[in-house]
């Protein structure tokens, strides 16, 4: 007997057939991010205009990759997971999950790594010295502001190094979560693991997720599915447009919503299998300028370049 599915049943079936949430691997995204940043900084590449900064952030990402293996985060208990499910909350919420003290020392190390990079500007030595001299309470206050996106309270020059240290802690935790620990949230525009807003989205090309779009978390590197041609900020589907820079790569575009006037970038693995959300978003500042001139604002920032949005 032929079974005819109603539209809602078809959608539900499709959602079961693909991974709804993709957790980061134990190796994390950092080594691949570092390599991508260096490629994007090469002569003739999209990020050539800010090549020096991309090389600095590549050095930071390499140090993150080295630090990840030594990270021993606190993992959620069965009670933590059950509580998060019951309240439809992220299980390792960015603003509530305990931070190991080690993140502060790592932030200082990451700033030192950048300052020691060939050709690094003198301001990086000043930032390193400021972080090293800051009392623990001040660094914790800055972390609270960063994770809550309280832009006015953030030391923007030091923010990339503090965020990079926090990323290591949250990626280490998220990579150890089992698939059963997370469930898609009622608010599809926030990370189901830590509650952060996405930095960008990626249309994946691997066998299990080919053609499906995933939002990428800038803190814990978890990815979660969102139907394509849907605003990742307000979930509108009727007023979506795509923008790109003439003559630039077609592997990255800005997905803009005329309902809320917000945009985020969307990457296409089938166009370039090496796209990496944080790196490619950072290297495409020219697209941000284009969108700002058109009257759109970013839905959320990039963790390696803190700025108002």
Task: Give the residue among 21, 17, 70 at the shortest CA–CA distance from 177.
Answer: 21
Q: What percent of the chain has pLDDT over 90?
A: 82
Does 306 have pLDDT greater than 80? no
Query: Which tokens go with 59?
Result: 């050095």
Using CA atoms, how far apart are residues 254 and 266, in angstroms rounded to an integer? 6
| CB-CB contact of 200 with 265 (8 Å) | yes
Beta-carbon count within 10 A of 125 CB:
15
What is 46-181's CATH superfamily?
FdhE-like domain (3.90.1670.10)
pLDDT digits 0-9 by tens, 6-33 = 545 445 544 557 889 999 999 999 999 9
Domain boundaries, the chain: 46-181
At 12, phi and psi to the nearest 5?
Answer: -65, -40
Say yes or no to pLDDT of 309 above 50.
no
**Could you please report the per-residue DSSP string of 22-90?**
EPPPTT-SHHHHHHHHHHHTSTTSTTGGGHHHHHHHHHHHHHHHHHHTT--PPPPPHHHHHHHHHTT--
**Token pair in block for residue 34:** 């570092």
The pTM (predicted TM-score) of the whole model is 0.92
* Residue 133 burial (C-beta neighbours within 10 Å; 0-12, 13-18, 19+): exposed
């Amino acid at each position: 007997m032929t079974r005819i599915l109603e539209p809602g049943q078809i959608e539900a079936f499709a959602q079961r057939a693909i991974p709804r949430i993709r957790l980061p691997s134990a190796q994390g995204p950092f080594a691949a991010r570092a390599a991508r940043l260096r490629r994007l900084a090469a002569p003739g590449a999209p990020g050539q205009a800010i090549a020096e900064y991309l090389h600095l952030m590549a050095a930071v990402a390499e140090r993150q990759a080295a630090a990840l293996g030594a990270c021993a985060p606190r993992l959620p208990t069965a009670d933590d997971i059950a509580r998060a499910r019951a309240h439809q909350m992220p299980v390792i919420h960015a603003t509530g999950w305990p931070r190991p003290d080690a993140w502060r020392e790592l932030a200082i190390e990451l700033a030192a790594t950048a300052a020691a990079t060939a050709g690094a500007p003198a301001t990086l030595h000043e930032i390193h010295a400021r972080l090293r001299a800051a009392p623990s309470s001040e660094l914790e206050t800055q972390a609270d502001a960063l994770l809550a996106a309280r832009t006015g309270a953030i030391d923007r020059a030091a923010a990339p190094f503090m965020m990079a240290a926090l990323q290591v802690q949250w990626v280490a935790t998220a990579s150890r979560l089992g698939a059963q620990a997370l469930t898609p949230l009622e608010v599809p525009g926030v990370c189901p693991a830590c509650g952060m807003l996405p930095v960008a989205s990626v249309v994946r090309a691997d066998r299990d997720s080919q053609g499906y779009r995933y939002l990428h978390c800038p803190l814990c590197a978890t990815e979660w599915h969102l139907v394509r041609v849907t605003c990742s900020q307000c979930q509108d589907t009727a007023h979506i447009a795509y923008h790109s820079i003439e003559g630039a790569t077609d592997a990255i575009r800005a997905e803009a919503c005329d309902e809320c006037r917000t945009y985020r970038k969307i990457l296409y693995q089938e166009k370039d299998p090496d796209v990496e959300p944080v790196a490619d978003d950072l290297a495409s500042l020219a697209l941000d300028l284009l969108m700002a001139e058109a009257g759109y604002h970013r839905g959320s920032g990039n963790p390696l370049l803190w700025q108002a949005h």
